[in-house]
Structure 1
Amino acid sequence: MPNEVQQAVDLFLDYMRGEKWASGHTLANYSRDLARLQKFCAERDLTGWRLLQNTDIRQYVAVRHKSGIGAKSIQRELAAIRSFFKFLLKKQLVEQNPAQGVQSPKVSKKLPKTLDVDQVAGMLDAKPNSNLELRDLAMFELFYSSGLRLSELVMLDNADLSLSEGFLRVRHGKGGKQRQVPVGSKAIKAIRQWQACRPDCESSALFVSLKGSRLGRRSVQLRLERWCRKNGLAEHIHPHMLRHSFASHLLESSQDIRAVQELLGHADVSTTQIYTHLDFQHLAGVYDKAHPRAKRSKPD
């Protein structure tokens, strides 16, 4: 495709980076998605973004689906293409958004896998035997205490904590959004124990290696796997499972989906609604107590 086609992509990525504060991960995905679309267009002699029609995008989706790409991935690619053409429309580089109205294959809804309260207790009540394990336990307590994303946890600095007041500040939330979340007493205790033995280093990071460098996401995942193996936990537990468990347990107890939405940092409450898989007997109990015509008379 001509140079101006790639220039339009570069302009869009610069816009996403500079004005939308898109993360490096998001920018990499957008770049790959648009490169695939460029290749598709080149194979069909579509030499400019203005030439793309709604039928071309539908065909692109069909080709991706036929090649075995999952519905969720195609859905994400379509979102990137829509955003790209929305930007081109704004810049008057195209006359229409050919991706508008194009549907991806249906995504089967999967409930997030969670641990029950006893499983979480068994995992977090295990005793650490080294400074590294004190750090690890502080990380795992914080996941479950405050419902953090893995990316949010590794970007925490010591200055983000206010343990005396029982909260922390998330500065690197999804989409660049910031929020404050509470920190429970067990997590506070674990963090203080880690801070007491944390290596003296120049890094501002809360969680560092023995050499003093900020921990990466993969390191946290591997440490969690190691902790689970050591403590005989058969379940394959990943960091996001602790976030899911936080959300599920809090929602079951409080019934306040808006509060859980805020704590998780979800932009849309529909995202939080995946955690509303509450036990039917609990719901029936709430119904019996609350509905004015549900109360059953006692048997004679």
Structure 2
Amino acid sequence: MENVISFPKQENLIDEYERIISHKSGKTVDAYLRSIRQFASWLSERPGGGDTFHPEQMTTTALDVYLEELEAEYSINYRNRIKSAISGFSNWLIEKGLLQQNPARGVEIPPQPLLAPRELSQDQRYVLRNLVEKKEKSLRGKALFALGYWAGCRVSDVSWLKMKDVHVGKKVGWLHVGHKNKKGRDIDILNQVRRPIHDFLEDEKQKKDRPYVFFSQRSDRLTEAGIHHWFRNLKRKATKDEWEYIQDITFHDLRHDFAHRAREAGWTIEEIAYYLGHVTKKGTPAIETTARYTQVSRKQIKGKLQLVKG
């Protein structure tokens, strides 16, 4: 007989697994359980799931399709962490006799293509900026967008931005960013970034004792997943015509596009590398990484053909 587990039973099962992994750090345990619950919820909604979760649904095909759905919005590292969490849970289910084999064994997450920059069109930029101006009501949302679009920040830069690292006033502003690989850097910011951050912090001044700039109802830090979720909701505010332009744009694409616009503005590759945090372990600009963000396009070459002299 199939081992069908309703949602209340599912929670009991996950609670039991939580005790098994309780030796890990609190953050790791929370991340693992969140990944497992989200996958179980997704499985229950698949054809034949019947709004219930049962371990036999945890097949290689199911996990492969699930991770493919996350590919557009989440990094390779994030999806590998999900795969690891589900693999550990699966091994435990196998020990309990509730699962025959680990579905993660047959799943491979392909590496990110080396040449995958994203340069937005003028229409895409117009639609996104208009959405933020006209339909994004929260000051937090305006600040999030500004950091991606006008400062080229990584989603981790934004998520882990601390109050003590923000130095903005009415006329000047700079940030200390760089959570990834602990490669912090100081960057000056445009008024298009300074103003929304200043307005957001002034509006939230009664909460300035918090450690992080962006928080959620559940935590003192807005997670990377939370930022991606906000960006998807922003895009949903678009009209049908606008949606056609922005449906596949991710928050990380804003960073790529910033690099292209900086290059067009005359920045050197080294300057872009520093600003974006593309540096080697020795602290020198990682030119190869930055070059992928600023590939020369056919349009750029076409515009300069007439400058060639005979």
Structure 1: gaps (5+ residues)? 1-24, 36-65, 73-106
- SS of 1:168's equivalent in the other structure is strand
Match of 2:172 among 135, 156, 165: 165
Letter in 2 for 1:295: K
Mark the CA change 1:71 to 1:239 in structure 2 (over 3 Å): closer, same or farther: closer
Matches within 5 A, 1:13-52: none
Match of 1:274 among 292, 307, 310: 292
Whether the 8 Å CA contact 2:143–2:197 is kept in 1: the answer is yes
Q: Which residue of 1 aligns with 2:119?
A: 114
**Does 2:297 align with 1:283?**
no
The separation in 2 between residues aligned to 1:174 and 1:211, in whole angstroms, is 23
User: What is the Cα deviation at residue 110 of structure 1?
Assistant: 3.8
- SS of 2:265's equivalent in the other structure is helix
Q: CA RMSD in A?
A: 3.4
Letter in 2 for 1:219: G
The separation in 1 between residues aligned to 2:261 and 2:143, in whole angstroms, is 20
Letter in 2 for 1:218: A
Match of 2:254 among 230, 242, 251: 242
Mark the CA change 1:280 to 1:68 in structure 2 (over 3 Å): closer, same or farther: same
Identity %: 23
Letter in 1 for 2:289: T
Letter in 2 for 1:258: E
Letter in 1 for 2:252: H
The separation in 2 between residues aligned to 1:286 and 1:204, in whole angstroms, is 49
The separation in 2 between residues aligned to 1:203 and 1:152, in whole angstroms, is 17
Letter in 1 for 2:176: R
Match of 1:190 among 196, 201, 204: 196
Mark the CA change 1:130 to 1:266 in structure 2 (over 3 Å): closer, same or farther: closer
The separation in 1 between residues aligned to 2:149 and 2:136, in whole angstroms, is 21
Letter in 2 for 1:274: R
User: What is the Cα deviation at residue 278 of structure 1?
Assistant: 2.5
The separation in 1 between residues aligned to 2:201 and 2:122, in whole angstroms, is 27
Whether the 8 Å CA contact 1:167–1:181 is kept in 2: the answer is yes
Whether the 8 Å CA contact 1:144–1:242 is kept in 2: the answer is yes
User: What is the Cα deviation at residue 147 of structure 1?
Assistant: 1.0
Q: Which residue of 1 aligns with 2:223?
A: 216
Q: Which has the larger radius of gyration?
A: 1
Mark the CA change 1:118 to 1:253 in structure 2 (over 3 Å): closer, same or farther: farther
**Does 2:263 align with 1:257?**
no
Whether the 8 Å CA contact 1:252–1:278 is kept in 2: the answer is no
**Does 2:139 align with 1:139?**
no
Mark the CA change 1:128 to 1:284 in structure 2 (over 3 Å): closer, same or farther: closer
User: What is the Cα deviation at residue 71 of structure 1?
Assistant: 5.4
Structure 2: gaps (5+ residues)? 1-76, 88-104, 280-285
Give the paired residue count: 200
* Deviation digits for residues 52-97 of structure 1 (CA, Å, limit 9, x no counterpart): xxxxxxxxxxxxxx9663552xxxxxxxxxxxxxxxxxxxxxxxxx
